[in-house]
Amino acid sequence: MVITIKDDVSYEVEIKKSRFICQLKRVTSQEDARAFIAAVKKEHRLANHHCTAYTLGEHQEIQRSSDGGEPSGTAGVPMLEMLKKYGITNVCAVVTRYFGGIKLGSGGLIRAYAGSVNEAIKTVGRVVLVEQIALHLELEYAQFDRLQHLLQVEKIPIVKSDFSSVVTVEIFIDESAQTSFLSVLTEKFAGKIKITTGIKHRVEVDFDPSAPL
């Protein structure tokens, strides 16, 4: 399961007169992440700290973090742990701090940096990236109503249809469900529907917080 943020987002909080600005951006490579970090540093060139964390790969294979001048272990790692906690990948987090004159201590810094990432994620929400495959179905007119009913039950929309000498229907189905769905089709229509596979694509579905990671 590949989970990422729904969109890029910025979240700001003030803690003991220090401003913490958390920006999350979807990225696809370390080059993307580095470019985003550089852009944030340029945008907030007068800030005291720019702390960063990012994860890349379908299983968060690449993980990087930086404390950006804060005491070791008080910023980058807590930010990275928050990304890992939510199972998020292909995301770069930058928390910019404008120091307000009051020291927070190690515990306060950890809570501030991890907390700002946490709130930014909750603000924007998460999506699951699902691989789907196109199925082209060819059937007789007399079979169409039954097929349409089955697709409604399975909550699979018809992408395209054509009614000529026979009926042709195009649908997209989750790749993980392809085998079981084809078995259902074969059983219900006694193998009388012609099925061919087409292109694959990836869709974004809102993440269900109750679902296991």
Digit-coded pLDDT (tens) for 156-203: 999 999 999 999 999 999 998 999 999 999 999 988 999 999 999 989
Say whether pLDDT at 212 is over 60: no
- Rounded Cα distance between 36 and 170, Å, is 39
User: What integer is the mean pLDDT of 37-53?
Assistant: 97
Region 130-206: CATH code: 3.30.70.240
Contact between residue 108 and residue 15 where contact means Cβ atoms under 8 Å apart: yes
pLDDT in the model for residue 211: 57
Grouping H, G, I as helix, E, B as strand and the rest as coil, residue 70 is coil
Among 40, 132, 122, which Cα is nearest to 88's? 122
CB neighbour list of residue 98: distance below 8 Å, 6 or more residues apart: 18, 19, 21, 44, 46, 47, 48
Residues of CATH 3.30.70.240 domain(s) within the chain? 130-206
pLDDT in the model for residue 210: 65
| Nearest-10 Cα torsion for 197, 202, 205, 210 | 90
Contact between residue 128 and residue 1 where contact means Cβ atoms under 8 Å apart: yes
Give me the helix-helix angle, 105-124 and 76-85, nearest 10°. Answer: 40
pLDDT in the model for residue 41: 97
Bridge partners, residue 84, by sequence: none
User: What integer is the mean pLDDT of 197-212?
Assistant: 83
Residues of CATH 3.30.230.30 domain(s) within the chain? 2-124
CATH 3.40.50.300 fits 2-124, yes or no: no
Contact between residue 56 and residue 50 where contact means Cβ atoms under 8 Å apart: no
Higher model confidence: residue 63 or residue 201? 63
How many Å separate Cα 37 from the centre of its chain?
20
How would residue 209 be classed by pLDDT, with cut points 50, 70 and 90?
Answer: confident
Share of the chain above pLDDT 90, in %: 89
User: What integer is the mean pLDDT of 122-147?
Assistant: 95
pTM for this prediction: 0.81
**What is the average pLDDT score of the chain?**
94
Question: Which ranges of the chain does DSSP label H, i.e. alpha helix?
Answer: 30-43, 76-85, 105-124, 141-154, 178-188
Contact between residue 92 and residue 4 where contact means Cβ atoms under 8 Å apart: no
Q: Which letter does DSSP use for residue 100 in this model?
A: -
- Rounded Cα distance between 39 and 145, Å, is 55
pLDDT in the model for residue 208: 78
pLDDT in the model for residue 191: 85
